[in-house]
Amino acid sequence: MRSLLPLIASVVLAMAARTFTYAADMPQSVAPFPVPVAADGVQRATITLDSYSYVPGYLVVEAGKPVELTLTSVTTITPHNFIIKDPAGSLSVEQDVGAGKTVVVKFTPTKPGVFPIYCDKRLWPMPSHRDKGMEGKLEVK
């Protein structure tokens, strides 16, 4: 029985390594999606949240104009969220999106840059959703 322990440990480690390799292999960036500016000057787009993705995952917006994103979850059980944070403080968005729910999040980016979009939900001890590939980016021009 004791001889099984190293085997079990190596299998667990291999599974963990595979999880992270898999996340690294996920397409982190898809084609840039320029968010259209409506007649009222608001940049609007709808994003579909699934386990574990944002579609579209690469948003391009203009600084100084309000952004209004409709976040639609298509999951049946798993809750997700939508986080964008500029470490320098120009942007701080954190919105929960329950399973099957649709919520609208509004913000106005002020500073050009590329900021990660991600979901930090996790079912311990599993990797976070971001680690599983639930990541995108916001490019502010």
Residue 130 makes contact with Cu ion by CB under 5 A:
no
When the beta carbons of 80 and 137 are compared against Cu ion, the nearer one is 80
Binding region for Cu ion (CB under 5 A) out of 24-32, 34-42, 60-68, 75-83: 75-83
Binding region for Cu ion (CB under 5 A) out of 7-15, 31-39, 80-88, 105-113: 80-88
Q: Of the candidates 47, 83, 119, 138, which one interacts with Cu ion according to CB under 5 A?
A: 119
Strand 80-85 relative to strand 92-97: parallel, antiparallel, unpaired?
antiparallel
Residue 132 makes contact with Cu ion by CB under 5 A:
no
Q: Of the candidates 58, 117, 129, 135, which one interacts with Cu ion according to CB under 5 A?
A: 129
| CB-based burial label for 36 (10 Å; 0-12, 13-18, 19+) | exposed
Residue 80 makes contact with Cu ion by CB under 5 A:
yes
Binding region for Cu ion (CB under 5 A) out of 2-10, 73-81, 82-90, 91-99: 73-81
Q: How far is CA 77 from CA 20, 25, 43, 51, 98, in A?
A: 23, 25, 30, 10, 8
Exposure letters 107-131 (e unless 16+ CB within 10 A, then b): bebeeeeebebbbebeeeeebbbbb
The residue ranges that bind Cu ion (CB under 5 A) are 80, 119, 121, 129, 134
